[in-house]
Amino acid sequence: MLDVVARSHRGRICEYRTGDVSVRTPYIITSEGGIRISHEGRSRTLHAADAEIPLDPKILTTLSYRENGAPAIFGNVCVARLPIPEEFTVPEETEMVVVPNAFELRNNPRKLVDSVIRLRESVGYGRIVCMLGIAEPSTLALLTYMGADMFDDSLVRAAGLSRTRLIPEGEIRAEGDASEDNAAELGRECSKVHTFAEAGRLRELVDQRAPSSPRTVAALRIFDRVGYEYQEEACPTVGDKFACSTTQALKRPDLRRYRETLSERYSKPRHKRILLLLPCSARKPYHISKTHKAFASAIHTAQHDTLVHEVIVTSPLGAVPRELDVFYPANSYDIPVTGEWKCEEKAMIREMIAARIAEGYDRVICHLGEDAELVRGLADMVETAVGDSTSPASLKNLDAALREAAKGMSPADDYTDRRETVRSILAFQFGKEAADLIMDENTYATGKFPYWKIVREDPADRKNKTQLGMITPERGMISLTLEGAEVLAGKFNSVEMTDFEMKGNLFAIGVVSADQGLRIGDEAVVTLNGKVKAVGVAAMSGREMQDLRRGIAVRVRHKSK
């Protein structure tokens, strides 16, 4: 029996129970415990799930060349030797899939990435993946992040007998037998993996550990490049603070997804005619920082402010329209600020800002100061910052430039400004088609940013108003009411449930089907025979909802009577 109790991208913490044995993954198999490896002479046997599985006699030798590749079944345990076949399948009753010769992947990053992805995609979310002979302190976080659940201590003990000390930062030559020290180090690292995974920040530990060896760096780079779709499916759309302290962190799947979503879904508010490029701030979301409050004092000095589209220039996101600064990951990232930009950052920022400029503006104003070099040459623009961007001289220049740029332009009224800006937010979150369905001719937005409410009037009786949703900065996206969910039901973010009386949250056992585009943190519309029964937040991806039989699928916020 498997319960996923915490997730961090593809990494996860599971409670796995078989018979009287209960373990918490990631789990290190030793010679003791309910799940263990015993030794008798030259023989090694894995005891798991009431099954006894014979293993290779020695960890540093492989017998895979003698095998035909067909998996072996021991009770509810499936043993899959490398290489994993392309059409790999396991019996329905399988609870655990064991790869006994995973050591073969240790020095081949490309095969490691391919094998783990193929294995996890084949067995789904509802089974334990156990990889033997490969875990060490420097790679345990990465292997867990990639989707493996269980490991053993055979590699670290074998290395210790060869007088090699293994620590999270790499390998050190030892004076004698270091096997016990290595095993203890692996256990300590497993505890750290648990801590970071429970906090949803396992990627940060992976980024810290990757430089321990060239092969680990290579594995992470390949995983980010060829495994993006695999990672993205398990990547949440909401989250807590995280640090981007390495170059490889720019490749995080949540950051890449943000950039791609901005390019593919988002369109600027149609009435915005002046593009204003602003620097980021250390405090998130930007609009609550002292820096951006100072900018606001120069921007919102007259009715021309409705014509101004504020876009924040930053790494690792490239461009953040003001209306999206409460969304993850713009509201959560932290980076080292040195005033120096890496080539990758410069290229990414120029590409993202060029895409925004291409949407069509009458004027472009740059208030980036020394960082204006990042965007020079992309368009004719007025530079307004003199030294410190918040200095009185800089703010005076900004005010004057905006007034000059807006001459001859008719400013939009507040009604139009809010309405079209919310449409852009909806497009980013749900897609342009969904945005148009919600923001029809009878729908508008009220309130003050970022606490905007989406309201629809009855065309037959304008006094009859219905709230469809609202932006909740604490969550970082638009939350729908039941009436708002009705608009999207069956078309976007839908989860079909079985026919039962739902008293609280919707659990995976009650899911019939789910939109495969659903991600953890998304708005989820729960339906029964096409009728909306509830709306809430997805606690699993759409495919995971269908794969698992246990755990909360949707945390319900509103439920129909």
Decide if pLDDT at 339 tops 80.
no
Assess if CATH 2.30.130.10 describes domain 431-559. yes
Residue linked to tokens 């960890």: 59
Mean pLDDT of 370-390: 95
Decide if pLDDT at 68 tops 80.
no
Number of H helices, E strands in the chain: 15, 31
Q: Given pLDDT bands bounded at 50, 70 and 90, which one contains residue 274?
A: very high
- List pLDDT tens digits, range 213-226: 999 999 999 999 99
User: Given this structure, which CATH class describes domain 271-405?
Assistant: alpha beta
Q: Can you give the pLDDT at residue 186?
A: 98
Decide if pLDDT at 64 tops 80.
no
More confident residue, 264 or 473: 264
**H or E segment to which residue 22 belongs:** strand 21-24
- List pLDDT tens digits, range 163-202: 999 999 999 999 999 999 999 999 999 999 999 999 999 9
Mean pLDDT of 335-348: 88
Q: Given pLDDT bands bounded at 50, 70 and 90, which one contains residue 152?
A: very high
- List pLDDT tens digits, range 313-337: 999 999 999 999 999 999 999 998 8
CB of 44 closer than 8 Å to CB of 168? no
Decide if pLDDT at 559 tops 50.
yes
Q: Given pLDDT bands bounded at 50, 70 and 90, which one contains residue 59?
A: low
Percentage of residues of the chain with pLDDT beyond 90: 85
Decide if pLDDT at 27 tops 90.
yes
> Which alpha helices (DSSP H) does 124-213 contain, by range?
140-146, 154-161, 179-198, 202-209
CATH superfamily, with its number, for domain 2-233:
Queuine tRNA-ribosyltransferase-like (3.20.20.105)
- List pLDDT tens digits, range 431-454: 999 999 999 999 999 999 999 999
Q: Can you give the pLDDT at residue 337?
A: 81
HSE toward the beta carbon, residue 20, CA cutoff 13 A: 2
Mean pLDDT of 11-26: 93
Q: Helices 202-209 and 179-198: crossing angle, nearest 10°?
A: 140
CB of 154 closer than 8 Å to CB of 133? yes
Same fold, 2-233 and 271-405: no
Cα dihedral 534, 540, 545, 550 sign? negative
Decide if pLDDT at 63 tops 60.
no
Mean pLDDT of 295-320: 96
Q: Can you give the pLDDT at residue 216?
A: 95
Print the SS3 string covering 350-414. Answer: HHHHHHHHCCCCCEEEECCHHHHHHCCCCCCCEECCCCCCCCHHHHHHHHHHHHHHCCCCCCCCH
Rounded Cα–Cα distance for residues 27 and 49 (Å): 14
Percentage of residues of the chain with pLDDT beyond 70: 98
Decide if pLDDT at 249 tops 50.
yes
Mean pLDDT of 10-35: 93
HSE toward the beta carbon, residue 549, CA cutoff 13 A: 5
Q: Which of 1-5, 49-53, 124-128, 196-200 has the lowest mean pLDDT?
A: 49-53
The overall average pLDDT reported for the chain is 94
Q: Can you give the pLDDT at residue 295?
A: 97
Q: Can you give the pLDDT at residue 561?
A: 81
- If we measure between CA atoms, which residue out of 162, 141, 422 comes closest to residue 267? 422
Q: Angle at CA 473, nearest 5°, toward 467 and 479?
A: 35
Q: Can you give the pLDDT at residue 347?
A: 95
Mean pLDDT of 58-75: 63
Q: Can you give the pLDDT at residue 211?
A: 94
Domain boundaries, the chain: 2-233, 271-405, 431-559
Q: Can you give the pLDDT at residue 65?
A: 44
